[in-house]
């Protein structure tokens, strides 16, 4: 609520964060490369929009998305307890919520849309944007579901992440080589402006509500899950696509010898 009282302070704080980027770009353009700014008025206007946009965005997050994530996790966890069971299976609704939140936020992720577009273009249309996005979204959904399972059971984070890395390493050996960098990248791309705040709030809310969990030890780590599992799902998607393509070409020319 204090945001409404003091929006100027928030604007000032945002300016401090955006200024370095603009300063760096302008510095390199004017001082290092010694070129004039193309259309300085337009660029200044864009900068003001970024500033105002970030202020609204951060203020809105504090008002809406963070409390929603926390309230949801709290209500879902309380509901599970009210059912009388304390076993981890009682948290079914939480897992469903985590899966749907992971999937829906990733499908909507602007930076993933940008990367899928770029991959489509760079691969000379071999990589389908929609297929990539769905593969990544499934990976994030599975990852976040596993992450909430971890918070509920209280098992250590690094075990899951290391197991995930081990799978990635094994897949790297067998997956088609040209898809590996894109798959690695999709791990970092998934967690963006919308996903991160909601998922972080879900994790912290769940950890402060499930008995025996501390927000510090258990609340974080969901985003890490969302970064590892898309790599696995995209590599898997690439392997599946390759396998189908091979089967098809084998069927088409049954007389040719297998490599």
Partner 1 sequence: MLKSFGGALGRALLGALRDLAPIILVIALFQVLILRQPFPNLLSVLGGLGLVIVGLAFFVVGLDIGLFPLGEALAEEFAAKGSLFLLLLFAFALGAGTTVAEPALIAVTREGAEAVAEAGLIENLPASIERYAFGVRLTVALSVGAAIVLGVFRILRGWPLPVLIIGGYVLVMIMTLFAPQEIVGLAYDSGGVTTSTVTVPLVTALGVGLARTIRGRDPLTDGFGLIALASLTPMVFVMLFGLIVH
Give, as ranges, the residues between 55 and 84 that touch partner 1 (CB under 8 A). 55-68, 71-72, 75-76, 79
Measure CA 63 to chain center.
22
**Range in contact with partner 1 (rule: CB under 8 A) among 82-90, 96-104, 238-246, 251-259:** 96-104
Q: Which among 80-88, 217-225, 235-243, 245-253 is the span making contact with partner 1, rule CB under 8 A? A: 217-225
Pick from 6, 12, 45, 244: which binds partner 1 (CB under 8 A)?
A: 45
Check residue 214 and give left, alpha or beta (phi > 0: left; psi -120 to 50: alpha).
beta
20 lies in the binding site for partner 1 (CB under 8 A): yes
Give the integer Cα–Cα distance in Å for 190 and 228.
10
Residues 144-203 touching partner 1, rule: CB under 8 A, are 157-158, 161-162, 165, 168-169, 172, 177-178, 180-182, 184-185, 187-194, 196-198, 200-201
Q: Which residues contact 130 (CB under 8 A, 6 or more apart)?
A: 116
10, 81, 90, 111: which one binds partner 1 (CB under 8 A)? 111
Residue with tokens 């509901």: 79
* Of the residues 2, 31, 38, 251, which one makes contact with partner 1 according to CB under 8 A: 38
Q: Smallest distance, Å, CB 101 to partner 1?
A: 6
- Asked whether position 110 contacts partner 1 by CB under 8 A, the answer is yes
Q: Does 104 bind partner 1 (CB under 8 A)?
A: yes
Task: Please tell me the count of residues contacting partner 1 according to CB under 8 A.
Answer: 111
DSSP state of 37: P
Q: Is 238 in the site for partner 1 (CB under 8 A)?
A: no
CB atoms within 10 A of CB 20: 9
Q: Please identify which residue in 6, 9, 12, 49 interacts with partner 1, judged by CB under 8 A.
A: 49
Backbone angles phi, psi at 12, to 5 degrees: -65, -45
* DSSP structure string for 208-232: HHSTT--IIIIIS-HHHHHHHHHHH
Contact window for partner 1 (CB under 8 A) among 83-91, 128-136, 224-232, 234-242 = 224-232
Q: Which is nearer to partner 1, 7 or 247 (CB)?
A: 7
Q: Answer whether 4's CB lies under 8 Å from 49's CB.
A: no
Assess contact for 53 and 17: CB atoms under 8 A. no
C-alpha span between 62 and 59 (Å, rounded): 5
Residue 84: CB minimum distance to partner 1, A: 17
What sign does the dihedral 224-226-231-233 (CA atoms) show? positive
Q: Which C-beta is closer to partner 1: that of 50 or that of 241? A: 50
CB contact at 8 A, 210 and 74: no
| Least Å from the CB of residue 258 to partner 1 | 26
């Amino acid at each position: 609520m204090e945001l409404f009282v003091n929006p100027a302070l928030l604007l000032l704080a945002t300016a401090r964060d955006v200024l370095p980027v603009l300063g760096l770009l302008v510095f390199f353009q004017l001082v290092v490369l010694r070129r004039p700014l193309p259309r300085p008025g337009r660029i200044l206007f864009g900068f003001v929009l970024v500033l105002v946009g970030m202020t609204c965005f951060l203020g809105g997050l504090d008002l809406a998305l963070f409390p929603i994530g926390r309230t949801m996790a709290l209500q879902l966890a309380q509901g599970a307890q009210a059912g009388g069971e304390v076993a981890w299976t009682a948290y079914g609704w939480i897992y469903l919520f985590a899966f749907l939140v992971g999937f829906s936020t990733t499908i909507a992720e602007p930076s993933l849309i940008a990367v899928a577009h770029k991959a489509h273009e760079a691969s000379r249309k071999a990589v389908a944007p929609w297929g990539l996005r769905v593969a990544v979204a499934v990976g994030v959904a599975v990852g976040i579901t596993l992450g909430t399972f971890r918070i509920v059971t209280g098992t250590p984070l690094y075990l899951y992440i290391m197991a995930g890395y081990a799978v990635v390493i094994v897949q790297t050996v067998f997956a088609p080589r040209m898809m590996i960098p894109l798959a690695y990248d999709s791990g970092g791309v998934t967690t963006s402006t919308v996903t991160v705040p909601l998922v972080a709030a879900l994790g912290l809310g769940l950890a402060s509500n499930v008995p025996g969990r501390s927000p510090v030890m258990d609340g974080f780590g969901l985003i890490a899950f969302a970064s590892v599992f898309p790599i696995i799902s995209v590599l898997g998607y690439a392997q599946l696509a390759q396998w189908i393509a091979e089967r098809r070409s084998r069927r088409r020319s049954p007389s040719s010898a297998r490599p």
